Amino acid sequence: MFTRDERRALIFLAVVTAAGGVIRASRGAAPGGGAAAAAVAPDLPGGDLVRQAALSRQAEAAQRPLLPGERVDVDRAAEAELERLPRVGKRLAQRIVADRQANGPFRSLEGLGRVAGVTAALLRVLTPFVSFAGAVPTAAVSPASVYPRQTAVGAAATGAATAAAAAPGAACGAPVAVNRASTQELTCLPGIGAVLAARIVAEREAHGAFKDVADLARVQGLGPRRIERLKGHVTIP
């Protein structure tokens, strides 16, 4: 026969053992939820644990750094995916999505520059990590050349554009539709180099199509003399 103290000791050991079994069962049920979770905590629906696990996996994926060569499609990505980009926090990701919903897809780095807070320096950082509607952007024209007032590099780019304007441009062979032409197509126009072509595209995407040839004065660097040279070489439907 056990003494009273011995019986108390045996009861204490049994309680501790049972408690340990409950803790182990709870830990085993956490990742997948289901029957084990219901047996340990019948008041907590197993589906809640499954949903929490799914949300946790989504949050972990959103915080995962970009792999080498991986790009984020800025024209389609959700806020959480945009936050994976370098130097893009929650607020900027929200602004990017809001601008895209209000004004349509960006289609290029120049188009992304219309978002408040997206500077030329940030565009240079983002270049290797973004795509637009599935098309990988090219590095033919640097963001600094499109936004010369935001970077010291812009001063040198503007000087290069002036030198290019002094030489006659290559013949296009046919009038260029300014409201549809790409940056490369615009460079065949007289006095239009890569810098001015990029500014024309950026201005068009940010503020809408040009209404006539004189409307090209909206583009920084296109003065009356350059615009006069373009007459007969461009069409604006």
Up-side HSE of residue 123: CA atoms within 13 Å toward CB? 27
- The pLDDT of residue 94 is 94
Domain boundaries, the chain: 4-63, 72-131, 143-235
* Whole-number pLDDT of residue 68: 83
Average per-residue pLDDT for the chain: 75
How far apart, in whole angstroms, are the C-alpha atoms of residue 22 and residue 14?
13
**Whole-number pLDDT of residue 69:** 84
Exposed / middle / buried, residue 65 (Cβ in 10 Å: 0-12, 13-18, 19+)? exposed
Q: 72-131 and 143-235 share one CATH topology? A: yes
The percent of residues above 70 in pLDDT, for the chain, comes to 59
User: Which region among 23-32, 101-110, 157-166 has the lowest average model confidence (pLDDT)?
Assistant: 157-166
Give the per-residue pLDDT at 168. Answer: 38
Which is it for strands 234-235 and 176-177: parallel, antiparallel or unpaired?
A: parallel
DSSP 76: T
Q: Is the pLDDT of residue 114 over 80?
A: yes
Which residue, 131, 174, 213, 15, is CA-closest to 7?
A: 15
Please tell me the predicted confidence (pLDDT) of residue 86: 92
What pLDDT is attached to residue 153? 44
Mean pLDDT of 218-229: 90
Q: Which residues of 183-196 are buried (b: 16+ CB within 10 A; e: fewer)?
A: bebbbbbbbbbbbb
**pLDDT higher for 136 or 208?**
208
How many alpha carbons fall within 13 Å on the CB side of residue 134?
A: 0
Residue 100 has pLDDT above 60, yes or no: yes
pLDDT, position 147: 52
Q: What is the dihedral of CA 206, 70, 142, 188, to 10 degrees?
A: -80
The answer to whether residues 175 and 234 touch, using CB atoms and an 8 Å cutoff, is yes
* CATH code of the domain made up of 72-131: 1.10.150.320
How confident is the model over 155-213, as pLDDT tens digits? 444 444 444 444 334 456 789 999 999 998 899 998 898 889 999 999 999 999 999 99
Most trustworthy range by pLDDT among 25-29, 66-70, 122-126? 122-126
Backbone angles phi, psi at 130, to 5 degrees: -125, 155
Confidence of residue 27 (pLDDT cuts 50, 70, 90): low
The CATH H-level (homologous superfamily) assignment of domain 143-235 is: Photosystem II 12 kDa extrinsic protein (1.10.150.320)
Q: Return the closest-CA partner of residue 110 out of 88, 130, 84, 87.
A: 130
Q: What angle do CA 78, 111, 98 make, to 5 degrees?
A: 35
53 token code pair:
């696990």
